[in-house]
């Protein structure tokens, strides 16, 4: 008795790369794109090193995404307490924090505060140890920047004072 096995080892990324007009976005939508990069998939690396792809990649990391995309993400994240808790849990780690991850955290919280001020401040007010958690990581420059942003940029001033006073009492 013989079983038929699908011994096709061609990745979906390779199949996409065989298409005549594949786009960087199509490739980036693939779940295994990072794995293929780590595996040094030569066909993929050749594609990514093309001038047009390199320009697109540089633009992705140096230009703001479309405004409506940011709003959808901010709305979803700012209104979901379980997601905010998951984000907040980053502060539970012992110092020193990974500086890159801390900068992502700080940027995310900072953007949420700018776009969803009231929701995020109300969430942070519930976290009695928020300020002490930030102070625990004051040696990480991204968190020092976040604290400065909280102290100086949250509007209205009443919200700023609420989160700072409630957290300071804890």
Q: What is the pLDDT of residues 80-131, one digit of tens each?
A: 999 999 999 999 999 999 999 999 999 999 888 888 888 888 898 899 898 8
Say yes or no: 55 and 112 in one domain.
no
Q: Is there a single domain that holds both residue 43 and residue 80?
A: no
Q: Which residue has the tokens 């990745």?
A: 11
Burial (Cβ within 10 Å: 0-12, 13-18, ≥19) of residue 138:
exposed
One domain, residues 28 and 105: no
| Full domain range(s) for residue 43 | 12-62
Residue 5: inside a domain = no
Residue 162 domain flag: yes
Q: Is 40 left (phi over 0), alpha (psi -120 to 50) or beta?
A: left
Q: How many domains does the chain have?
A: 2
Burial of 81-95, coded b for 16+ CB within 10 Å and e otherwise, reads eeebeebbebbeeee
Same domain membership, residue 79 and residue 44: no
Whether residue 82 sits in one domain with residue 32: no
- Is residue 1 pLDDT above 70, yes or no? no
Q: Is residue 4 part of a domain?
A: no
Judge if 95 and 23 occupy the same domain: no
Q: Is-above-0.95 flag for pTM?
A: no
Residue 6: inside a domain: no
Give the helix/strand (H/E) hosting 83: helix 81-88
| CB within 8 Å of 92: residues ≥ 6 apart | 133
Whether 72 and 128 map to the same domain: the answer is yes
**For residues 159 and 121, is the Cβ–Cβ distance under 8 A?**
yes
User: In whole angstroms, how large is the CA radius of gyration of the chain?
Assistant: 22
pLDDT given at position 69:
65
Q: What is the pLDDT of residues 6-38, one digit of tens each?
A: 555 678 899 999 998 999 989 988 888 888 998
If asked whether residues 38 and 88 sit together in one domain, one would say no
In terms of domains, do 54 and 72 share one? Answer: no
Cβ atoms 37, 44 nearer than 8 A: yes
């Amino acid at each position: 008795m013989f079983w038929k096995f699908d011994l096709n080892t061609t990745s979906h990324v390779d199949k996409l790369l065989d298409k005549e007009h594949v786009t960087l976005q199509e490739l980036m939508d693939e779940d295994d794109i990072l794995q293929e990069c780590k595996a040094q998939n030569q066909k993929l690396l050749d594609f990514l090193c093309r001038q047009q792809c390199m320009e697109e990649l540089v633009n992705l990391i140096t230009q703001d995404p479309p405004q409506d995309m940011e709003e959808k993400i901010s709305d979803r994240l700012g209104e979901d307490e379980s997601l905010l808790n998951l984000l907040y849990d980053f502060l539970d780690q012992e110092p020193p924090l990974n500086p890159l991850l801390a900068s992502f955290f700080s940027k995310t919280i900072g953007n949420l505060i700018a776009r969803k001020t009231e929701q995020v401040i109300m969430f942070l007010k519930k976290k009695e140890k928020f300020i002490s958690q930030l102070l625990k990581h004051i040696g990480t420059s991204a968190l020092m920047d976040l604290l400065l942003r909280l102290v100086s940029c949250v509007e209205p001033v009443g919200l700023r004072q609420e989160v700072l006073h409630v957290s300071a009492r804890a």
